[in-house]
Amino acid sequence: MGPSVEARSIVVSVEGMTCNSCVQTIEQHIGKINGIHSIKVSLEGKNATIIYDPRLHTPESLQAVVGDMGFDATLADSVP
Amino acid sequence: MPKHEFSVEMTCEGCSNAVTRVLNKLGGVQFEIDLPNKKVCIDSEHSVDTLLATLKKTGKDASYLGEK
C-alpha cells in the first residue's frame, strides 16, 4: 500500500436487523459509498465493522449513513 | 389527500421497520405497510419523487405503483 492510502476501522452497533437480507442491504448500500474500503455486518453481533478513509468520513458521518437507512446505529465506545 | 402505493422489496420485519423509521423521519406521512405483499401505501402531501427517494434510502428496491 502506498503512503497515500489511509484506512481506519470502526465498529458501529446496529439495532433493528432481523435477517440476512437486512445485512446484505446494508453491506451493499454502504459498500457503494465513496471512501468506504470495506464493510462487514454481523447479524449475531448486531454490529457493522467498517473500514473507511478518514479523509472522507468520520465515525459520526458513518453512523448517520446507517441511521438514514432506517436502522438504529450507535458508535461503540471502545474505539480510539 | 392522495394515496400513493409503492412496491418495496421487503423480506422481513427488520426491513419494514427500517421503512417505518425513514418515513417517520420524513414526517407528514400516514402509511400502511403490507409486508406479505411488499407494498407500502402512503397518504401524504409530499411528492411521489420525495416519497420514492425516502423509500430508496433504505437501500431496497422501490417503485411507484400508482394512486389508490
- Only one residue has cell 459498500, namely A31
B13/A68 CB distance under 8 A? no
CA pair distance A26, A52, nearest whole angstrom: 15
Tell whether A17 lies on the interface with B, counting CB pairs under 8 A. Answer: yes
Which chain A residues touch B20 with a CB distance below 8 Å? 70
Q: In B, which residues are within 8 Å of A19 by CB distance?
A: 11-12, 14-15
* Residues A72 and A16 sit within 8 Å (Cβ to Cβ): yes
Q: How far apart are CA A64 and CA A71, in angstroms?
A: 10
Per-residue pLDDT of chain A (80 residues; tens, 9 = 90+): 555 678 999 999 999 998 888 899 999 999 999 999 999 999 999 999 999 999 999 999 999 999 999 999 999 765 44
- Say what the alpha-carbon torsion angle A18, A21, A22, A26 is, to the nearest 10 degrees: 150
Residue-wise pLDDT for B1-41, tens only, equals: 789 999 999 988 888 999 999 999 999 999 999 999 999 99
* Residue A3: alpha-carbon gap to chain centroid: 23
Are the Cβ atoms of B60 and A16 closer than 8 angstroms? no
